[in-house]
Amino acid sequence: MRDNAGLYAALRSGRQVVPLFIFDKQILDKLDDSQDSRVQFIHHELMAMRKELKELGSDLEVRYGNPEAIWEQLLVDYDIEGVFTNRDYEPYARKRDEQIEKLLASNKIVFQSFKDQVIFECADVVKDNGEPYVVYTPFSKKWLELYKPEMSEPFESQKYFDQFAAFHAKSLPPTLKEMGFESFDFEYPSREIDKKVIKAYSEKRNFPAQPGTSRLSMHLRFGTVSIRHLTKIAQETSKSWLNELIWRNFYQVIIWYFPDRIENAFKPAYDQIEWLNDEQHFKAWCNGKTGYPIVDAGMRELNETGFMHNRVRMITASFLSKHLLVDWRWGEAYFAKKLIDFELASNNGGWQWAASTGCDAAPYFRVFNPTLQTEKFDPDLKYVKRWVPEYGTSKYPEPIVEHKMARQRAIDTYKAGLEKRK
């Protein structure tokens, strides 16, 4: 609440502010696990926020349902003069917000949206001719050229907390059960920022057995830490970590300009690849039983914790799309179900990078060797043994494909697909 662009603008408007959060039924209905850690996390954070607001003499409206229907009811429940929100760049969210804006406009209510979750958006960082960058390196150079320290200054909403309306919510917040979910014990990563980890990020970031990453991705995704605050720390502490924040910004821009590429290869030629899509191989990959220990360790970490180390994300994604020739969209969808830090732009961008189908992807003939990746980034097998305790025993399965054969098969298959396009 203390660094939120939309809230800051609303509080500074001089009008009484009613905070609102809507659990979008159309999004939640697509989740097939009643114990979804992300929904529980959001619910928990909202209840903590509601408690804080009550201490300020205010309240928080939390509703569940179809957003348009909820807004029609809110127009009855409140005398609304204006609506303030932060922009979302995902295709569904954009369409939803456009519908809400039209509904409000028909009732002569001003709808204002703000940039909040990125430093730069859409047209902020473009080529000299106004076209978007589709290659990361020139985007990042332009990003750094345009960046100014004041862009990381927080929106200090707490200065205007007296503008929160003194009211009681018209209805009680929905419980997890009422929305079709269950509460359960889950260990969420801390939102505390460890500057020592960030300072050593460049040296330790690729070693999954070490505490070398910030684990802040979930909090950044759900807005419980500020991108401005993180960018400021990155500027002061680690260029390598800042680079990761810029990658996230890059993918948010890509999804804005190219929403049609989410379900298709960014490079259309790669839609001609003839995937094998062996369901048994896919199942083995999902369950961490491929016979390649670092792949299996990553998948088991994901299944148990909802998190996977970034280096291992690249290895597991490359293995599925190239060693097994399973359509990258299958893997992307599986990660979307499991990752606590799931963000469509980054997930899609990462998968298309690994599968060589993306806007600035690894070349198709680059096929990670899981054995060499293990030797390089988990030489003592600490990560592997943590998640695959049966490794080295008769209980551990043999590799489901042989690397040399799978690598050549992938190269030949990709090449054939690209030839079709010509």
- The residues assigned a catalytic role are 244, 247, 275, 310, 328, 351
172/405 Cα distance (integer angstroms): 59
Q: How is residue 42 written in tokens?
A: 């959001």
| Amino acid at site 311 | R
What sign does the CA torsion over 180, 183, 187, 189 have?
positive
Decide if 201 contacts 241 (C-beta within 8 A): yes
Closest CA to 24 of 80, 87, 93, 85: 93
What sign does the CA torsion over 341, 113, 5, 63 have?
negative
Q: How is residue 384 written in tokens?
A: 């592997």
Number of H helices, E strands in the chain: 19, 4
Within 8 A by CB and 6+ apart from 395, the residues are none
What sign does the CA torsion over 282, 283, 286, 289 have?
negative
Q: How is residue 337 written in tokens?
A: 């179900």
| Amino acid at site 308 | M
Burial of 106 (0-12, 13-18, 19+ CB in 10 A): exposed
Compute CA 208 distance to the chain's CA centroid, rounded to the nearest angstrom. 19
